[in-house]
């Protein structure tokens, strides 16, 4: 097994929108098995407990995107189920488990296409590219898919 720092997780809701909450801490573990299973633990603010309790109760499998180790890394896609929600002081620990999706989104290439289409060049393009690679805003092409 290998473990990594979990920096952020975005969960896709039924309406196609993404839900995320700031992590106080997080870890992700590759179980290195034939099912490509991963275990994620998120330490977040207690205010998000009702959402995760609902997902735990329903057993719903969630599409999620996780940024691992470095903010510049492309988010990895997962199919996750909530396995446990535990209160710890003013926070909650969320335990999730599921396989890594095989398809990569090629975020960097699509972002670059979008910046070129917006007419950005030179330092302005480079600054925006660096910022967006770190912050990972939803791309126009993904917003358009959700709205169609």
Q: Convert the chain into a string of H (helix), E (strand) and C (coil).
A: CEEEEEEEEEEECCCCCEEECCEEEEEEEECCCCCCEEEEEEEEEHHHHHHHHHHHHHCCCEEEEEEECCCCCCCEEEEEEEEEEEEECCEEEEEEEEEECCCCCCHHHHHHHHHHHCCCCHHHHHHHHHHHHHHCCCCHHHHHHHHC
- The per-residue pLDDT for 141 is 78
pLDDT for residue 39 is more than 90? yes
Write out pLDDT tens, residues 67-115.
Answer: 999 988 888 889 999 999 999 999 999 999 999 886 556 788 889 999 9
pLDDT band for position 26 (cuts 50, 70, 90): very high
């Amino acid at each position: 097994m290998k473990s990594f720092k979990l920096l952020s997780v975005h969960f896709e809701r039924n309406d196609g929108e993404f839900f995320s909450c700031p992590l106080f801490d997080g870890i992700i573990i590759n179980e290195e098995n034939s099912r490509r299973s991963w275990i994620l633990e998120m330490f977040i603010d207690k205010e998000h407990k009702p959402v995760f309790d609902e997902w735990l109760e329903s057993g719903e499998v969630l599409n999620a995107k996780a940024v691992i180790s470095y903010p510049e890394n492309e988010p990895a896609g997962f199919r996750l189920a909530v396995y446990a929600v535990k209160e710890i002081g003013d926070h909650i620990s969320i335990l999730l488990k599921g396989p890594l999706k095989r398809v990569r989104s090629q975020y960097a290439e699509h972002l670059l296409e979008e910046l070129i289409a917006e007419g950005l060049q030179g330092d302005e393009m480079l600054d925006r590219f660096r910022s967006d690679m770190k912050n990972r805003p939803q791309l126009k092409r993904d917003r358009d898919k959700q709205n169609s």
